[in-house]
Structure 1
Amino acid sequence: MSRILVTGSADGLGFATAQALLAQGHDVVVHARNERRVDAVRPLVERGAGLIVADFSDREAVLGAIADLNGLAPIDAVIHNAGVISGAALMPVNVVAPYLVTALLAGPRRHIYLSSGMHRGGHASLDGVDWAGARATRTYSDSKLFVTTLMAAVARISPDLLSNAVDPGWVPTRMGGAGAPDDFGLGHETQEWLAASDDAEALTSGGYWYHRRRQQAHPAVNDRSFQDDLLARLEDATGVPLSRSR
């Protein structure tokens, strides 16, 4: 069984993912944004899940959570599920936090980044992005294009890791809305499979997945120069490099 961190576990797909992995017998660590959200994950904690509490829009809180996790049993896989749909926190939560966890958390050999079909509407330009989140400078689509590109960059520069992105579909969650048309169950199955399965397909890297099938991502995702520019901007913004030796 694997030890798996699921960020953004207090509701929706994150909660369902953590719940399913616990039921499969995995050692799961869940994440709540603040103490008020801990009650939402308490049913998972009572079933044996570990817990971290950190506001991913606050870079120091992210670094503190990583330091705490590095003092515990190693994590085998991370499902980067935490996300927001609008506002100044878009870049810190949707892009910078996954970057920092990828760069600094010791141990994981698998990283699964939650993307969206909306990433195809993102703009492949990094000029003027406020990575610190003092103001809103980009859209949700842009943030998902960036994090999907991060996935591809990790897959390219760290071939000993399994790095993949998942489009869960437009599912009925607090973010997606009650009228969302896609299947909620299928919305969390692929990330669970990529995090823990030994199926041959699940042991591949660099994929953009929808319902356990590889899909074509935005052309910029696999553009090496765009990947390198993104990594350089994130390193400059955070002071943290993404090591090529993992």
Structure 2
Amino acid sequence: MARIFITGSADGLGRLAARTLLGDGHEVIVHARNAGRLAAVEDLVDQGVSAVVGDLADPDQTRAVAGQVDALGPVDAVIHNAGVYRGDQIMPVNVVAPYLLTALISRPRRLVYITSGMHESGRADLTGVDWSGRRAGSYSDSKLFVATLAAAVARLWPEVSSNAVDPGWVPTRMGGPGAPDDLRLGHLTQEWLATSTDPEARTSGGYWFHQRRRAPHPAVHDRAFQDRLLDALAGHTGTALT
């Protein structure tokens, strides 16, 4: 059985993945933005789940989350599920936080990053990107950047399976009640990539939709763009991905 940390798991796809993985016998660490949000995972904690707390829009709190995870012991997989769709937290939560957590948490065997089909309309241009969140960023750009981060980690850390997942447009709080995709399939792929012994689930550098590889935006596998992204994030955070 694996030990999995899931960001943004107080509700939505993160909570559903945590509940499913726990039911399958895995050890799960959930994450809530603040102490008040812990009430949303109290039932899971009562079943043996561990919980960490921190606002991923704040780099200092993100660093603290990494420390809390490491204090609980090594993890086998991290599912970078947390994300926002609107507002000034898009870049800090969707891109900076998964970058920092990747750099700071003791290296697991598997990493899963949640992107979106909307990454296809993202711009492979880092000029003027405000990583701090003082200005609202583009959701599509953020999802292109996080898919690129996943591919860069796959290249730099060959011993780690690093993949990006498009969960589809599913009926969560973010997706809305009218979203047309299957809710179960929305969290199945990340669970599978985090824990399965299937040889396909042990591959790296993929962009997945409902357990099927797809071709991402061409920039995702552009090594020069990957390096520019990593350099920009290292410069902003003062933490290099080594």
Please say whether Structure 1 and Structure 2 have the same fold, judged by a TM-score greater than 0.5. yes
4+ aligned runs moved over 6 Å, structure 1: none
Whether 1:29 aligns to 2:29 is yes
Question: Residue type of the partner of 2:187?
Answer: H
Whether 1:204 aligns to 2:199 is no
Look up the SS of the partner of 1:135 in the other structure.
coil
Deviations 1:34-56 (A, max 9, x none): 11211111111111100001100
CA displacement at 1:18 relative to structure 2: 0.3
| Structure 2: 5+ residue stretches without partners | none
Instruction: Give me the whole-angstrom Cα distance separating, in 2, the residues matched to 1:20 and 1:160.
Output: 26
Instruction: Give me the whole-angstrom Cα distance separating, in 2, the residues matched to 1:56 and 1:37.
Output: 13
| Aligned residue in 2 for 1:193 | 192
CA displacement at 1:133 relative to structure 2: 1.1
| Aligned residue in 2 for 1:87 | 87
1:121-132 equivalent positions in 2, closer than 5 A: 121-132=121-132
| Aligned residue in 1 for 2:222 | 223
Deviations 1:10-47 (A, max 9, x none): 11101100000000000000000111211111111111
Instruction: Give me the whole-angstrom Cα distance separating, in 2, the residues matched to 1:194 and 1:31.
Output: 19
| Aligned residue in 1 for 2:96 | 96
CA displacement at 1:178 relative to structure 2: 0.2
Aligned length: 242
CA displacement at 1:134 relative to structure 2: 1.6
Which stretch of structure 1 is more off in the superposition, 224-233 or 35-44?
35-44
| Structure 1: 5+ residue stretches without partners | none
Question: Residue type of the partner of 2:127?
Answer: D
Identity percentage of aligned residues: 61
Question: Residue type of the partner of 1:19?
Answer: R
Instruction: Give me the whole-angstrom Cα distance separating, in 1, the residues matched to 2:196 and 2:151.
Output: 20
| Aligned residue in 2 for 1:152 | 151
Look up the SS of the partner of 2:127 in the other structure.
coil
Look up the SS of the partner of 1:129 in the other structure.
coil
Instruction: Give me the whole-angstrom Cα distance separating, in 2, the residues matched to 1:196 and 1:151.
Output: 17
Q: Tell me the C-alpha RMSD between the 2 structures.
A: 0.7
Look up the SS of the partner of 1:164 in the other structure.
strand
CA displacement at 1:109 relative to structure 2: 1.3
Instruction: Give me the whole-angstrom Cα distance separating, in 1, the residues matched to 2:69 and 2:13.
Output: 22
| Aligned residue in 1 for 2:241 | 242
| Aligned residue in 1 for 2:8 | 8
1:52-91 equivalent positions in 2, closer than 5 A: 52-91=52-91
Deviations 1:181-202 (A, max 9, x none): 0000010000000000111000
Which stretch of structure 1 is more off in the superposition, 60-69 or 167-176?
60-69
| Aligned residue in 2 for 1:182 | 181
| Aligned residue in 1 for 2:19 | 19
Question: Residue type of the partner of 1:97?
Answer: A
Look up the SS of the partner of 1:30 in the other structure.
strand
Instruction: Give me the whole-angstrom Cα distance separating, in 2, the residues matched to 1:68 and 1:49.
Output: 14
Look up the SS of the partner of 2:64 in the other structure.
helix
Instruction: Give me the whole-angstrom Cα distance separating, in 2, the residues matched to 1:230 and 1:155.
Output: 14
1:104-115 equivalent positions in 2, closer than 5 A: 104-115=104-115
CA displacement at 1:75 relative to structure 2: 0.9
Instruction: Give me the whole-angstrom Cα distance separating, in 1, the residues matched to 2:104 and 2:33.
Output: 19
| Aligned residue in 2 for 1:161 | 160
